[in-house]
Amino acid sequence: MQKNNKLIRYVILAFALFATMFSYYVWQIAKTPNYQVDEKKGFALLIPKGATFDTVWDSLRVHKVVKDELSFKFLAKLLKYKENVREGRYVITAEMGNYELIKKLRSGRQDPIRLTFNNIRLKKDLVHKIGNRFQFDSTTLATMLNDSAVARKYGFTTETIMCMFLPNTYDVYWNVTPNEFFDIMHGWYKKFWTEDRKRKAAAIGLDPIKAQIMASIVEGETKKADEKPRVAGVYMNRLNARMPLQADPTVVFAHQDFTIKRVNSTLTKINSPYNTYKVIGLPPGPINLPDLNSIDAVLNYERHKYMYFCAKEDFSGYHNFAENFTDHLNNARIYQEALNKLNIHK
């Protein structure tokens, strides 16, 4: 009897020891960091639609991400990840253990792509900015931007559709579809155009699209936030007086040559709906994606009597303003002399 009790105690002790060792092993393979990735950037694992565990494993193996392959596969099987592969983009960090990553992959808890729009003039610039950062082909985006039916769906034309893409930073999931991407951008567009902003636009004789077109001209003229309302005031004065806006950035846009630094009388002869030296009123679409503060500068433009402005001769980025053409010519002469001294003729 004593021998049996002793045997039982040994068995229990052995089992407890085994259980402890097994638990410790499981804890190690679950919690111990197991990925050799950049400590700052990590590694973005892209899992396309229809992918299997083998697809995921091939990607991890090719990029040599997993240190202990056996432990990863063991826990993946234990947690039934093979039956729960979900598409998306998942950032793997250096401090992650197997359990944390596999639970993340199983749940479909993606890491979004941070997308920032700035310094964009043309549709091709926008397409290039987005590039191949998402699962969809960027050529699909280019096609949609030129599709009148798509533009009409969101309340734009193919000339004004760029207004929908407000310069900002957005978090967008990698596996978003082109249509979903457009819906997201339109959602942010509607969020920006609050009832207050719409009322301000209507009060100055504009709608949101026209306000953004005007803002794109202001953006093309100055990067100085404190000067934008004054520049906007000049163009609103011209617009209300039914005189040509004569905005040099629109001429540059018409020529599609953004290396032009000096707009002369030869350049202003171009036949284009974007040449505001020839066409009265606003051009048919924006000439860039203006900053949000440029849009607000138009909605809250400075009331004054200035009808002209010219870049300052100190090349500070600011401008000299004038109420009459005579004073403007004098300001222009001073600036042109400064350009000539630097041998800038184009």
**109 φ/ψ sector (left φ>0, alpha ψ -120 to 50, else beta):** beta
What average pLDDT does the chain have? 91
Torsion of the alpha carbons at 198, 119, 269 and 212, rounded to the nearest 10: 0
Domain with CATH 3.30.1490.480 in the chain: 32-107
Indicate if the pLDDT at residue 197 is higher than 60. Answer: yes
pLDDT in tens, 278-334: 999 999 999 999 999 999 999 999 999 999 999 999 999 999 999 999 999 999 999
Q: Write down the pLDDT at residue 144.
A: 97
- pLDDT tier at 26 (50, 70, 90 boundaries)? low
- Topology given in CATH for the domain delimited by 32-107: Dna Ligase; domain 1 (3.30.1490)
pTM summary value = 0.85
CA 17 to chain centre: 56
pLDDT for the residue 1: 54
Q: Give me the mean pLDDT over the 165-174 stretch.
A: 96
- Chain segment 105-140, per-residue pLDDT in tens: 999 999 999 999 888 999 999 999 998 899 998 899
By C-alpha distance, which of 211, 210, 232, 213 is closest to 221?
232
Three-class DSSP labels, the chain: CHHHHHHHHHHHHHHHHHHHHHHHHHHHHHHCECECCCCCCCEEEEECCCCCHHHHHHHHHHCCCECCHHHHHHHHHHCCHHHCCCCEEEEECCCCEHHHHHHHHHHCCCCCEEEECCCCCCHHHHHHHHCCCCCCCHHHHHHHHCCHHHHHHCCCCCCCHHHHCCCCEEEECCCCCHHHHHHHHHHHHHHHCCHHHHHHHHHCCCCHHHHHHHHHHHHHHCCCCCCHHHHHHHHHHHHHCCCCCCCHHHHHHHHCCCCCCCCCCCHHHCCCCCCCCCCCCCCCCCCCCCCHHHHHHHHCCCCCCCCEEEECCCCCCCEEEECCHHHHHHHHHHHHHHHHHCCCCC
